Amino acid sequence: MRYKSGGITLIVVLLMVSFISATVYINEVETNPSGSDAGNEWIEVYNNGADVNLSGWSIKNDNNDYYFFDGVIIGQNQFYVLDNLNGLVNTDESLTLYTKENFSMDTSGQISDNDDDGKTLQRIPDGSGSFNLISDTKNLPNEQVDISGLSSNPSCILAKDKVNLYAIVTCDCVDKVVFSVKNGTGSWINVTGSIVGENNYTGMIDTNLLDFGSSSDWKVYAYDIFNRSTQSSIESFYVTKQTGLTVSPSAPNGFNGWYISEPLFIVYNSDAYLKFYRWNGNLFNYIGSFGLEGTPNSGNITGGIHVLNYWSNFSCGRVESQINQTFKFDFTSPQIIDNSPIGQITNDSPKISAYIDEVYQSNSGVNLSSFKMFLNDVEVNSSARNMSALDGEISYQTLNLDNGIYEVKVEASDKSGRMNDKSWTFEIFTPGEINLTIINPNESIYGERKIQFILTTEDEAEEIGYFENIEGKTPRKRKLCNNCDSYGLNEEKRISFREGNHNLTFYARNKDGVEEEENYSFLIDSTIPRFKSTSPKNGYADGNFSVIFEETNPKKLTLYYGNSSDLNAVDYNISECNYEDSPKIFCSKFIDLSFFDGEDIQYYFSAEDIVENIEFSKVIEVKVDSTDPLLVNPGSFYDQVNNYINFHLNVEEDNFDTAVYSYINYRGKLRERKLCSILKNGFCEKRVSFRSGSWDLVVKITDEA
């Protein structure tokens, strides 16, 4: 009994231990696989505890069919599948899990799968929940990813926006979340989401990838770590239309992107609440089609380059970003101005030219390659150049055209293709040549005031004359003859002029009004040099010779001196003479006369002007005294007695003149007093009294030279 009892007790204990430690459950059942059931049925068990050896364990169905585990050890949180089974019932099947001791560990209860598809009966959560028919998770956890809370932002989506999509994805096994948006072509654009909080995911899509003005479907895929995917329901959002612009004509009707006529503009957006446009800053509420009215600087007239901005406001309160387009307008053809030559001209090789002016500074600018010039309906090889950023010039240099009327035509276009042309005429008339010849006067110096005039012309002149050019005065014409071809040729003609320089312009004019001029300059010096005085006078000469003479144009001054056996000539440098009292000229020079000392000589001057008029001064006879007086007793020529000075000057001089003394008196003035003018036995003696004080005396002895 004890043994038995002990055995029973032992068995109970063992069963209790087995029950407590066993955590294996029927977890997933496939009773009705897609297609044939035979050999395709299976049962999955799950262990959420310690490792369990399933050897000897079995599962029994309602038909008492047993399915055994053979040599299987299932680890913690692992799955094991009894695969390739037969006999499971699709409706009201009931399965029980037994240990090898035939202890019931788990039962499925009545389960049914009447759909021949890929869904299986699964416990959610694994091992503990009730059975549900969901997609096959064979050998994988049964927990499903849940997707909810789909939303988009902003709620009012404009074209060009970036849309943020949101979803709540719950499952500990989530690997990644993908937001998928359907575009206008039916393709799905996938964006990997990022987590922004617990179970919250977001993705961003650029509406530029979608169709504006339509709804876009979107959904969310969630992938778990077992690479299983879950798809959300489909949501949608609406992207408003982008404001558009219609231009008529749609493309510029000029060259290089320029409109040469004013186009019509239409702003459209059926989703908009209000529409606006702006020309270079000037704002307008769009109410209908418009042109360039309102553009700066009267653009509908002057054209130019203008920027158009347009956009819409929407009822949701949002404002669209401004869209801008740049347009170029040129409504004015280039103007052809300053055409030359015009009228009658005498030049037979004129330069023909015209200025091509783009009137408004914002226009397209001239097209130099379009410039053409025609002369008498024949295109010439003209040249074109830019005169500014927009304007140009066309020109053509003619050569030796015949007399006659010429018609010029210029054609020019600007870069927008606007073209203009202009025609004009000019006449070349070359009158007969005058060929004025001046035989006399010449450009020279004349020694007389009456100048002979000799002038000739090749053909008869209506008038021949001259005028003098005097600075600061208006020239006055002086007629010499009418209807003549010469003056002074057959009969001597002289015109009187004043002394000095003269600048004359001679002219001859023919009946056609053509005038020819010749310019000549000459100098008149008709007066001879005149001597006013010479020095020394009659008497003595010590070598200093000076002269004063009058001459406006001096050329040469010469001193002649000596006697009948020896006459010398010395030229003065007249540039070193004194002209302060012009026309009087003062010249002086020292000549060494020691060779003639004590002898009588004669001297005179000659003066020559630039016309070689020569005048001689009067001949003067003088005696040469080139030796200075000698004071023989320089150390004893005076003595003092009280206030008296006794002068005793012993002088050697054949031509004695005077002896004087000088001093500064007590008033500070220079005083000079004569001692004597005659020597007595070679002495000059005189007694002179002075006031008390100190006196500085200077004694000077001079001879007659």
User: In the predicted model, is pLDDT for residue 17 greater than 80?
Assistant: no
CA distances for 454 relative to 477, 481, 510, angstroms: 17, 12, 18
Q: What is the pLDDT, as a whole number, of residue 513? A: 82
In a domain, 352, yes or no: yes
Q: What is the CATH number of the domain that holds 45?
A: 2.60.40
Compute the Cα dihedral for 507, 512, 514, 516 and give only its sign.
negative
Beta bridge partners of residue 384, listed in sequence order: 394
Q: What is the pLDDT, as a whole number, of residue 395? A: 97
* Local confidence band at 18 (pLDDT 50, 70, 90 cut-offs): very low
Please provide the distance, in angstroms rounded to a whole number, between the alpha carbons at the two ends of the chain: 198
In a domain, 662, yes or no: yes
φ/ψ (deg, to 5) at 356: -100, 110
pLDDT digits (tens, 9 = 90+) for 254-309: 999 999 999 999 999 999 999 999 998 889 999 999 999 888 888 999 999 999 99
Least confident of 51-55, 92-96, 594-598, 611-615: 594-598
Indicate whether 353 and 317 sit together in one domain: no
3-state SS class at 226: coil
Indicate whether 652 and 609 sit together in one domain: no
Least confident of 4-18, 299-313, 454-468: 4-18
Higher pLDDT, 693 or 568: 568
pLDDT digits (tens, 9 = 90+) for 150-175: 999 999 999 999 999 999 999 878 88
Q: What is the CATH number of the domain that holds 206?
A: 2.60.40.10
* Local confidence band at 447 (pLDDT 50, 70, 90 cut-offs): confident
pLDDT digits (tens, 9 = 90+) for 397-446: 999 999 999 999 999 999 999 999 999 999 998 877 789 999 999 998 99
Peptide bond into 334 cis (omega under 30): no
Q: What is the pLDDT, as a whole number, of residue 394? A: 97
Write out 488-538 in H/E/C secondary structure.
CCCCCCEEECCCEEEEEEEEEECCCCCEEEEEEEEEECCCCCEEEEEECCC
User: In the predicted model, is pLDDT for residue 144 greater than 90?
Assistant: no
Indicate whether 499 and 606 sit together in one domain: no
DSSP E strands: which ranges in 232-390? Answer: 235-239, 244-248, 258-259, 264-268, 274-279, 282-285, 304-313, 323-329, 335-340, 343-345, 351-357, 366-375, 378-379, 383-386
3-state SS class at 597: coil
Indicate whether 12 and 117 sit together in one domain: yes
Please say which residue of 594, 624, 654 terminates a domain: 624
A 10 A CB-CB count for 167 gives 24
CA proximity to 380, closest of 359, 356, 396: 396
pLDDT digits (tens, 9 = 90+) for 604-653: 999 999 888 999 999 999 988 877 888 989 988 889 888 899 999 998 88
5-13 mean pLDDT: 36
pLDDT digits (tens, 9 = 90+) for 25-43: 999 999 999 888 889 999 9
Please say which residue of 239, 266, 286 terminates a domain: 239
Average pLDDT, the chain: 90
User: In the predicted model, is pLDDT for residue 5 greater than 70?
Assistant: no
In a domain, 107, yes or no: yes
73-95 mean pLDDT: 93
List, as one string, the DSSP characters of 83-102.
Answer: EEE----SSSEEEEEE-TT-
Rounded to an integer, what distance in angstroms lies between the CA atom of residue 160 and that of residue 320?
Answer: 9
Q: What is the pLDDT, as a whole number, of residue 22? A: 53
Q: Which residues of 589-614 are buried (b: 16+ CB within 10 A; e: fewer)?
A: bebebeebeeeebebbbbbbbebebe
Indicate whether 470 and 358 sit together in one domain: no
188-207 mean pLDDT: 95
Name residue 660's amino acid: V
Q: What is the pLDDT, as a whole number, of residue 19? A: 43
* Local confidence band at 389 (pLDDT 50, 70, 90 cut-offs): very high
pLDDT digits (tens, 9 = 90+) for 304-322: 999 999 999 999 999 999 9
Residues 6+ positions from 12 with CB-CB distance below 8 Å: none
Indicate whether 277 and 188 sit together in one domain: no
Rounded to an integer, what distance in angstroms lies between the CA atom of residue 104 and that of residue 96?
Answer: 7
Indicate whether 216 and 270 sit together in one domain: no
In a domain, 141, yes or no: no
Q: What is the CATH number of the domain that holds 414?
A: 2.60.40.1220
Q: What is the pTM for the complete model shown?
A: 0.52
User: In the predicted model, is pLDDT for residue 7 greater than 60?
Assistant: no
Domain hosting 354: range is: 335-428
| Contact (CB, 8 A) for 42 and 85 | yes
Indicate whether 549 and 674 sit together in one domain: no
Please say which residue of 283, 307, 329 terminates a domain: 329
pLDDT digits (tens, 9 = 90+) for 218-246: 999 999 887 888 899 999 999 999 999 99
Indicate whether 324 and 344 sit together in one domain: no
Indicate whether 602 and 635 sit together in one domain: no
Indicate whether 405 and 387 sit together in one domain: yes
Q: What is the pLDDT, as a whole number, of residue 441? A: 94
Q: What is the pLDDT, as a whole number, of residue 559? A: 94
| Total domain count, the chain | 7
* Local confidence band at 705 (pLDDT 50, 70, 90 cut-offs): low
Q: What is the pLDDT, as a whole number, of residue 337? A: 95
